Structure 1
């Protein structure tokens, strides 16, 4: 999964906030209060269902809890009593027109991890996964940011995939420890891994070819995102601009580091992150 660690809110708590110092936290701090609070509510929902998928116990327990989240989201839109743990979403749904299908898509993405460990999905399944766990969150976010419908959905499509592919490349070792491998099956087959396992893929001498190709896909999505951002009002794109620029620093750092083991965890330098924050937080 991708979201920065924090705890999910209990019904009596305010929406959970992302970890201070994270790119997401910095981007959200740029927003007016109503938008910021709405994003924190969406973040808390995403964090809660992400925790179910990753650390929610046995698979049947995780499936049952995700089913309860689906029912709670349905109740949020049904016009009757709203379950306590989605009360913080009432205002954002009303004020920004957030769509039920996007919340449900996020849950569907978490279910893909909860039902079985994903290992070398085919390209179409990987793209569907990215859409659900990242671009669906983007579709909720761009409505809060105030982007127009068509460019907003396009930005969510491309930037969500760019960020998620960056996360996959950043986290390949940590994911393997969980028994997961998000690298696409077709590219692994091309280097001779017809039945890939996480261990075999990460030890393969041609792993770099697969990672380089996936990084190129991410770069194409970043480029498409910037083209959309360039044509949109700057006020509505401050947060996505910062997220795109900050996450691209991670992709740059990964590319410079390379893919051979041992793969040190990468983190962009504080000065580079500060420069991104100042550029996109002020302009």
Structure 2
């Protein structure tokens, strides 16, 4: 997976504004996502070992919902009971990590990339909006758009880090449309035409940000500061990357912590 959906510092800043039970539930969800992500990215382990490790999590999630010993999923037991979290969403996250384990993701077609984003990002969003107390239909729509926006932004930010472990998440159609020959990871990410392949991905991320912001602007029921904060912070990252471009050598774009903190203050004042 191309970095966690939300950088640890920004994730915790956004979650600190929640009431205690909701905050602890989000910490448990994040810890689960981080744990299975670490399995997927543990390149020291072979495919069989990492697959077995993910299967242990599948079994523990199944046991949790069946009323048995939840094993590694014990910290999720309270949030599942309190907020009615969906087993399907937890399993979707594991399925997304399994896509990375089965074969290092390289130039997936657009449909496969969208499925991956749904599993590793939007599924986490669906779990989160239940904790935030959002009405389910609205929350699912928000998760669809915001999850994809965040994940596509991460993909564009982490091109070099992902290439270093043999992965290129940019879609095949975008690379071929830019005239980039697929086959060698280093050659692909070093191609001077890469900016042309990144532009349609950035446009897709921007479209999802716009839709997410439209949902949030309607002020649906629930704790909205966390998704508002993440949407604003990552939309700004995307804007800065679009301005800088993606031609190598690329400087990694990072969150402006002062701006992030000020944005949080403003959002709290509007509540």
Q: Do both proteins adopt the same fold according to a TM-score greater than 0.5, normalized to the shorter chain?
A: yes
For residues 192 and 252 of structure 1, the distance between their equivalents in structure 2, rounded to whole angstroms, comes to: 25
Question: Residues 60 and 69 of structure 2 are in contact (CA less than 8 Å); yes or no, is this contact kept in structure 1?
Answer: no
Corresponding position: 1:58 with 2:59:
no
**Residue 4 (structure 1) shift:** 7.6
Which gives a bigger RCO, structure 1 or 2 (Cα 8 Å, sep 6+)?
Answer: 2
Unaligned runs of 5+ in 2: none
Question: Residues 97 and 143 of structure 1 are in contact (CA less than 8 Å); yes or no, is this contact kept in structure 2?
Answer: yes
For residues 271 and 252 of structure 1, the distance between their equivalents in structure 2, rounded to whole angstroms, comes to: 17
Q: How does 1:5-84 map to 2 (within 5 A)?
A: 19=8, 22-55=9-42, 57-83=45-71
Corresponding position: 1:178 with 2:165:
yes
**Residue 255 (structure 1) shift:** 1.4
RMSD: 1.6
CA displacement, residues 167-208 of structure 1 (integer Å, 9 cap, x when unaligned):
000000000000000000011111223534321221222111
The residue number in structure 2 matching 1:12 is none
C-alpha distance 141-262 of structure 1, shift in aligned 2 (>3 A): same
Corresponding position: 1:108 with 2:95:
yes
CA displacement, residues 54-102 of structure 1 (integer Å, 9 cap, x when unaligned):
016111100011011101100010123332x211111110110100000
Partner SS state of residue 112, structure 1: helix
The residue number in structure 2 matching 1:248 is 235
The residue number in structure 1 matching 2:244 is 257
Q: How does 1:108-147 map to 2 (within 5 A)?
A: 108-147=95-134
For residues 153 and 197 of structure 1, the distance between their equivalents in structure 2, rounded to whole angstroms, comes to: 37
The residue number in structure 2 matching 1:14 is none
For residues 214 and 256 of structure 2, the distance between their equivalents in structure 1, rounded to whole angstroms, comes to: 26
The residue number in structure 2 matching 1:236 is 223
Aligned length: 268
For residues 159 and 134 of structure 1, the distance between their equivalents in structure 2, rounded to whole angstroms, comes to: 8
For residues 224 and 95 of structure 1, the distance between their equivalents in structure 2, rounded to whole angstroms, comes to: 29
CA displacement, residues 202-245 of structure 1 (integer Å, 9 cap, x when unaligned):
12221111111111100000000011111233752111001111
For residues 159 and 67 of structure 1, the distance between their equivalents in structure 2, rounded to whole angstroms, comes to: 28
Where has structure 1 moved over 4 Å in runs of 4 or more?
A: none
The residue number in structure 2 matching 1:158 is 145
Corresponding position: 1:272 with 2:259:
yes
2:189 is matched with which residue: 199, 202, 214? 202
Question: Residues 59 and 115 of structure 1 are in contact (CA less than 8 Å); yes or no, is this contact kept in structure 2?
Answer: yes
TM-score normalised by length of structure 2: 0.94
Question: Residues 120 and 185 of structure 1 are in contact (CA less than 8 Å); yes or no, is this contact kept in structure 2?
Answer: yes
The residue number in structure 2 matching 1:10 is none
For residues 186 and 70 of structure 2, the distance between their equivalents in structure 1, rounded to whole angstroms, comes to: 45
TM-score normalised by length of structure 1: 0.90
